[in-house]
Structure formats: C-alpha cells, structure tokens
Amino acid sequence: MASRTVLVTGAAGSVGSALVPRLADRGWDVRAIDLVRNESAVGQRIIGDCFDDSVLDAVLPGCHAIAHLAAVSGEAPLSDIAPSHITGFGRLLEAARRHGVRQVAFASSNHAVGFIPNDGRTAGVEVAARPDGFYGVGKAAGEALCSLYADRYGFRTVSIRIGSFRESPNTVRHLATWLSPDDLGAVFDAALSAPGQGHSIVYGISRNKRRWWGLEPGRAIGYDPVDDAEDHLDTIDPQSGTPEELDYLGGSFAWRDRTTDA
C-alpha cells in the first residue's frame, strides 16, 4: 500500500488547525509543522521552519505528499511576501524533489485573481492572474512554481484558490466565497490524491448557490463540496461588508489604498 504520510506546513494557523484533524480523519498520517506548536494537532507535531533545508531533510523522508499552507498571511510589503511565498516555497519544492516527494497541494487564494471585475458570470480557472495586492502576487507566483515543478520534474501539483475560509459565513460576500471546514478537508484530500502528473488549479469554495467561481475543475480531481453558505442566510446581516466588496473577485483587497487620477 502506498504511503499516506503528508507534511502539512503552517499547521498551527487557522486553516492548518482545521485541516490537520480532517486529513487524519480521511486516513492520512499527518506530520504537522509550524514555527509554534499546535496543541490540538493530531499525528506528529513538529516545531521548525519549513523553509530551512536541514529541517526539511529531517521531516520529508517517508512522506508521500505536502499540503503547503505556510506563508505570510494577508497583505504585506513585497519585501515580506517574497521570502516566504516565492523563495521559501521554491526551497520547499526543491527539497521535495530531492526526497522524491512529487505530490503537492498548495494553498493559493482568490486574491491571485482579485482584480477581475465581478460581472455576475462564473469565473473559471483559465483566466489570467490579476492579483489585488502583493499577497495575491505571492499566490500567483506560488501557482507558477507549482506549474514549473509539474512540467519540469513530473510533480502532481494542485493550486487551491481558497475563497473565504471560516467556521460559518458572516457577510454577504461570503454567500459566494465561503469554504467550510469540512469542505476544506475534502478539497485538500482530493488534491493530495489526484493521480498522474501535471498542474491543476481549483477553487476552494463550498457548494454555494451564489458562487462566483466554477466547481468543475475541483470535480475533475474528485472534489465535490457539500456545504452551502445559503444555509446560513438567516444569520447574515444584509448590510454586512461594503458595497465595494462585491465589485471585484478579491473583495476589499481590490479597494485597499487605491488611487485614481485627477
């Protein structure tokens, strides 16, 4: 039987804390690594820098796959984004190649395409990257690295453009972009199990009635979400958020610090 050991980077973050137990429930033997300890994590808990070659050389042997979540979270100066999103991720992929780990699920983001106007049509994965900030640039660069390692080295990589991950939706925008904790586990499980070689992009969203992104790419790798933000409609204030959050796929990220010509 093939190994079902997965290294989850950034395992102590909000997404990682929800993902680790759900991957374990789906039969994965989890090695959870972060700079801080996640006491709620199951499996092997490792404190360390997942961008350090000596740490990677210690934790990657015996792994079948990597779920990569570790990075600067949220918008930040490019000088902060590049070391983790680009240089660090490149170092992780190179260590994976060195140790024969060829299956990678990458936590990308809707912010890689956040400046695409929301015109009421469902956006697919074929659209060109239009990041809405340096964070989105980092995610777009991570997708490019996944594509490179798939094409050049025969990896199987899946970039998961996560919408709005949280326990439950709480704004009008979330009715379109929500990713539930259980669907988070399902989409990463599908990405970590995707057969063959090559790079795929899928949207990490639940089966939301008002979704802005298509589910077909996810279904092509076996991801069929079950939750729907519409089930939480009664708990959402119709005035929540700002009207501008609905103008672009990236929501408020696309409006932060914008300037216009006089």
What does the DSSP 8-state code read for residue 99?
T
Q: How far apart are CA 221 and CA 191, in angstroms?
A: 7
The CA distance from 46 to 53, in Å, is: 15
Task: Count Cβ neighbours within 10 Å for each residue of 107-146 and write b for 16 or more, e otherwise.
Answer: bbbbbbbbbbebeeeebebeeebbbbbbbbbbbbbbbebb
**In Å, how far are 56, 59, 114, 231 from 47, measured between CA atoms?**
12, 11, 33, 38
Which of 135, 203, 223, 248 is catalytic? The answer is 135
Any catalytic annotation for residue 248? no
**Secondary structure class of 230 (helix, strand, coil):** helix
Lookup: tokens for 240? 């929540």
Q: Which residues are catalytic?
A: 135
